[in-house]
Amino acid sequence: MAEQITWTPIKEFREILFTQHGGIAKISINRPQVHNAFTPLTVQEMIEAMDICRNRTDIGVIILTGEGGRAFCSGGDQSVRGHGGYVGEDTVPRLNVLDLQKQIRSIPKPVIAMVAGWAIGGGHVLHVVCDLTIAAENARFGQTGPKVGSFDGGFGASYLARIVGQKKAREIWFLCDQYDAQEALDMGLVNKVVPLDKLEETTVAWCHKILEKSPLALRMLKSSFNAELDGQAGIQELAGNATLLYYLSEEAKEGKNAFLEKRTPDFSKYPKFP
Ligand code: S0N
């Protein structure tokens, strides 16, 4: 029998829902009337929720999704696109979704895009930067930039090309066509396709499988995958994790203890591994 999935609120927001089920956090864009297009506030709220997920040691995996079953996200809300970015209540134009993309990549926990319906434009890029994507049969994917006067030449182009290859990525951006879930699976853009009524159940089952695994191993793997592609920022992430592991060792603690005890550290007892 299918598991009864109950989602408990973590924090109230205006444009997203932020809930948890055990060690799984779910961040869901709650603007179904515009196919979950994002405003600067939506993005700011997702950034805050992601930051909470990073800092909560009981959260091991994050689901990113959209409410309503008809759209994951349709990108930037064109009705608030102004001169130089998307404009919020403070009247300042922003492209703060770029900060969210970097955050999804660097958070040391797997992020799964759970896609029903449209994943379009900046919404498509959001699923691209997630670690895994599980799609419902009604999912449709595509970029619209050159059609609506924009483009994302960052992860939206280069990382997309890493996933589907240069020719396909250029096709996706140059033609602005839409691709169904099976086509997305065939090009390696998503990990699995399931019926819409099985989408959450399957995603949660994948989350449980991930939660059974070693969190430090997952953390090291995510930063290792990133390091190859992300230049100095990727190396910094991987090296930060190496430092975290080193801090856990008796050898590193000897350095700190010697300083606090005002003595010369004795590293002689620690092996010089081959
Ligand atoms: C998703 C589409 C294909 C769905 O078509 P469908 O099913 O016919 O529904 P519609 O009737 O079109 O939509 C239902 C209602 O939702 C509104 N709506 C849909 N998408 C948006 C949107 N993005 N912004 C505002 N409203 C939206 C419709 O208007 C409709 O409302 P009503 O019922 O009142 O008429 C289709 O909807 C579609 O093509 N949508 C637009 C997709 C799009 O072009 N998105 C923007 C792409 N650009 C970005 O996302 C930029 C992201 C960004 O921030 C960025 C980042 C880095 C670098 C650059 C950028 C950059 O600015 O490009």
- Give per-residue pLDDT as tens, 161-199: 999 999 999 999 999 999 999 999 999 999 999 999 999
What percentage of the chain exceeds 90 in pLDDT? 98
> Is 78 a pocket residue for ligand 1 (Cβ < 6 Å)?
yes
Q: What are phi and psi of 107, to 5 degrees?
A: -60, 130
Say how far apart CA 215 and CA 213 lie, in whole Å: 6
3-state class (DSSP) for residue 36: coil
| pLDDT band at residue 4 using 50, 70 and 90 as cut-offs | confident
Q: In Å, how far from its chain's centre is CA 107?
A: 8
Give nearest CA residue, ligand 1 atom 59.
152
CB 135 within 8 A of CB 118: no
User: How high is the mean pLDDT of the chain?
Assistant: 97
Query: Which residues sit in the known binding site for hydrogencarbonate?
Result: 143-145
Best of 30, 35, 100, 126 for a ligand 1 pocket test (most atoms within 8 Å of beta carbon) = 35
Q: How many other CB atoms sit within 10 Å of the CB of residue 195?
A: 11
Q: What are phi and psi of 124, to 5 degrees?
A: -65, -40
CB 187 within 8 A of CB 180: no
- Give per-residue pLDDT as tens, 88-97: 999 999 999 9
> Is 176 a pocket residue for ligand 1 (Cβ < 6 Å)?
no
Alpha helices in 142-265 (DSSP H): 145-148, 160-164, 166-175, 181-186, 199-211, 215-229, 231-247, 250-260
Give strand ranges (E) for 30-131.
61-66, 71-73, 86-87, 93-94, 111-115, 118-120
Rounded to a whole number of angstroms, the CA Rg of the chain reads 21
9 sits in which H/E element: strand 8-9
Say how far apart CA 170 and CA 189 lie, in whole Å: 14
- Give per-residue pLDDT as tens, 45-74: 999 999 999 999 999 999 999 999 999 999
CB 35 within 8 A of CB 73: yes
- Give per-residue pLDDT as tens, 247-256: 999 999 999 9
**Ligand 1 centre from 126 Cα, in Å?**
14
179-180 β-sheet, strand order: 71-73, 118-120, 140-142, 179-180
> Is 34 a pocket residue for ligand 1 (Cβ < 6 Å)?
yes
Measuring CA to CA, which residue among 164, 201, 199 is closest to residue 183? 164
Q: At what angle do helices 97-106 and 122-129 cross, to 10 degrees?
A: 10
Q: How many other CB atoms sit within 10 Å of the CB of residue 212?
A: 8
Please state the rounded mean pLDDT for residues 206-223: 98
> pTM for this one?
0.96
Query: Which residues sit in the known binding site?
Result: 74-78, 86, 118-122, 143-145, 150, 247, 262
**Ligand 1 centre from 263 Cα, in Å?**
64
**Ligand 1 centre from 176 Cα, in Å?**
13
CB 115 within 8 A of CB 139: yes
Q: How many other CB atoms sit within 10 Å of the CB of residue 4?
A: 6
Residue type, 50: M
Please state the rounded mean pLDDT for residues 201-224: 98
Give nearest CA residue, ligand 1 atom 19.
34
Say how far apart CA 132 and CA 176 lie, in whole Å: 23
**Ligand 1 centre from 136 Cα, in Å?**
20
Sign (positive or negative) of CA dihedral 158, 171, 179, 16 = positive
> Is 139 a pocket residue for ligand 1 (Cβ < 6 Å)?
no
Ligand 1 atom index nearest CA of 75: 50
